[in-house]
Every structure is written in structure tokens, then in C-alpha cells.
Amino acid sequence: MLLTLRQPGSINETIETFNIITKQRQLYSTRPSMGIPPIWLNTSNRVAYTALTGRQYDLWIRGHAEEHAIQPVLLNVNPAFTGYGDRVIAVQPDHGRPVQLNGAGQLLGPIAVDLTTFGFIPGDPLTNYRMTLSPTAPKLALYDTKTLLIADVQTGDVQRLDLGEVHSERSGYGHRWAFAARWSPNGRYLALLTTVGTPVVPYTELTIVNADSGLSSQVPLEVRYVHDVAWAPDSRVVVSLGEVSTTEGKAALGLYLIAVSLPDGAIRRMLPEQTFGLGTTAQGLSWSSDGRAILLLCPQRVQTEPPQGENRLCSIEVSRSSQAH
């Protein structure tokens, strides 16, 4: 697992890998805490991440035992970058086109998509600009509070997706937009966390998009806020964390299993008697590569008076029959 660990009594966090079998930990870097997670580049066994330097974010790529390297690979980037395998894509706020780098940090050139043409303003943090690279195809999803695009990294061809309008007294009124996106492992679908309005938003929901057809549908989890989502390796099932209650200002989350491949999108709450906590970046949920376990944050209270707790990682076994049903 790739982890960011907040250090007690400090504003810093470490970026580490943790082997859940051998319990071995390896340090890759230390940076000021931030909400954008690092990315594991599995082809080169290196970590890409952004870190604040003065008033700007710089892009770093490091391997194990390179924690004393002092040179970022790209200066002044939008903190939300993406990558997979041996490819990293970043945006410099004063440039209109994303640029590509390899796992060694070498610049490969720009992508033939001018973001300003589509109204993106990566230099404005209020637009919530994000992007994510498909793990199987040269496709890049780019999104903010107004727009969602899928761009072909090689050709520059662009597909604009419409997530529709919301007209609900409970949820609000306006254009639906995405603030988080996860590609399915086969590259056919996007799982989005969507909402309307501006922060503080009235609700969040899970939306599944077919990347080929552009068709989308909302998953009726019947919770006001959905906080995270992760794909199973077979791209047929997702798990999601939904807010089931709030106690003393803290959200209690339920874990939901959704069969995306079924026509009715069958939904089942896993471990209905158990609730989970929320990570500081709302990204504490993942699926093991063999599809047999879900890994997530499970904060525990270690003492009552005075109240004190700690974040822990838990592994939940998932049987094949539970995925099928």
C-alpha cells in the first residue's frame, strides 16, 4: 500500500509504502500535509507527488532511498496531477496544455489539448480542477465545477460529457459536476463523486459513466453524502463509503457494495453494524489487486476520558459470492 502518514505534533506527512504481509515500511519522502495524494508509478517503482514550495506547488518523482534528492522535476504546477505505470501528466497554471513526463522525470512534451479552449482555469483553486489517467488506454479525464472531458492523450481528440441537471428541493438546483473520478481497471467506466452548487455543497452522490457512450447514471445509496469509491479489479463491482449518521460532529460511514455490471445496479451494505471514519483527504478506501480484500481507514477510540482516538487500517475479506450478489 502507498500511504501518507501525518506526523504527530507536526504539519508534515511522510509518503511510505507498507507491505501488509511482511509489515515492511519504506520511506519515499516527507512534505507538508496536503489533500492531494501521491501516485505510485508501478513500472518504475517510484512515487510522484506535489509539494508546496513558498506559494507554488512543484512536482517531484522519487524512488526508495532517494529521500534526500533536492530537485523537483517540474516547477509551479497545479497540485492535482495524474499518472500511471511510467507516465505522469501535470499542468502548469500559466500554460494551456498538460505536459507528460516519464518515471525518471524526463519531459516528454505537451498533450495536444488546449485547456483554455474548454474553459478550464487550472490556476484558479476555486474551480476544483482535477484530472485522472486511464490505466488501460491513452485517455485522460479532465474535470472541474463546470466541465467534464475525456481526451485522447495521443491524438488530442476530446469527448465532452454532460452529467445533467439537478432539480430537487432536497439536493438543490443546477448543473451536476464531478469533484473526484476513478477509472475502472478496464478503462470502460468512470466512477464519479458528483454534486451541485458551491461549497459547502448540499449533498454528494455516486455517478457511473460509460466512457465510450458518455451515458451516466446515479447510484441510489440513499445517503446524503458519499465520500469515496473504489473499483474491484474485475471492473464489475465498486465499493463506496456513504455517510449514515453524524455524532458529535463526526461522520459515521457505511460501506456499500454496488454491482455496476448488473442492469439494476444491485446495492448491498456490507457489515451493516459497523461504521467507519473519514480520512483527512477522503481517500482512505482501496481494493486489493487480487480482489479478495478491501482496505480502508477504521479509526478506533483508544481511551474515553479524555477522548482520544487513532487512525488504523483495516482489511475486510470479500468472497466471490458476495461480489456476484
Q: How far apart are CA 193 and CA 260, in angstroms?
A: 15
Strand partners, 84: 87
Q: How far apart are CA 47 and CA 61, in angstroms?
A: 6
pLDDT for the residue numbered 274:
87
H or E element: which one contains 303? strand 300-303
Say yes or no: domain 1-160 is CATH 2.120.10.30.
Answer: yes
Question: pLDDT-derived band of residue 321, with 50, 70 and 90 as boundaries?
Answer: low
Surface-to-core class of residue 23, CB atoms within 10 Å of its CB (0-12 exposed, 13-18 middle, 19+ buried): exposed
| Angle of CA points 209, 226, 269, to nearest 5° | 95
pLDDT for the residue numbered 258:
94
What value does the mean pLDDT take over residues 29-52?
Answer: 91
Going by C-alpha positions, the residue among 259, 260, 256, 258 that lies closest to residue 270 is 256
pLDDT greater than 90 at residue 153: yes
The per-residue pLDDT of the chain, averaged, comes to 88
pLDDT greater than 90 at residue 22: yes
What percentage of the chain reaches a pLDDT higher than 70?
Answer: 94
48-83 tens-digit pLDDT: 999 998 889 999 999 987 756 678 999 999 999 999
Lowest mean pLDDT among 97-106, 202-211, 219-228, 280-289: 280-289
Q: Looking at per-residue confidence, does 70 or 175 come out higher?
A: 175
pLDDT greater than 90 at residue 186: yes
Q: What are phi and psi of 157, to 5 degrees?
A: -65, 140
Surface-to-core class of residue 110, CB atoms within 10 Å of its CB (0-12 exposed, 13-18 middle, 19+ buried): middle
Q: How far apart are CA 101 and CA 249, in angstroms?
A: 42
Q: Peptide bond before 196: cis, by omega within 30 degrees of 0?
A: no
Domain boundaries, the chain: 1-160
pLDDT for the residue numbered 325:
42
The answer to whether the CB of 323 falls within 8 A of the CB of 291 is yes
Between strands 293-297 and 313-317, the pairing is antiparallel
77-101 tens-digit pLDDT: 999 999 999 999 999 988 889 999 9
Mean pLDDT comparison of 121-125, 180-184, 250-254, highest-scoring range = 180-184
Length of the chain equals 325
pLDDT greater than 80 at residue 323: no
pLDDT for the residue numbered 280:
52
The answer to whether the CB of 177 falls within 8 A of the CB of 190 is no
Going by C-alpha positions, the residue among 76, 77, 73 that lies closest to residue 107 is 73
Question: pLDDT-derived band of residue 172, with 50, 70 and 90 as boundaries?
Answer: confident
What value does the mean pLDDT take over residues 133-155?
Answer: 94
pLDDT for the residue numbered 68:
60
DSSP-assigned states of every residue in 198-230: SSSPS--EEEEEETTT--EEEE----S-EEEEE
pLDDT greater than 80 at residue 271: yes
pLDDT for the residue numbered 324:
44
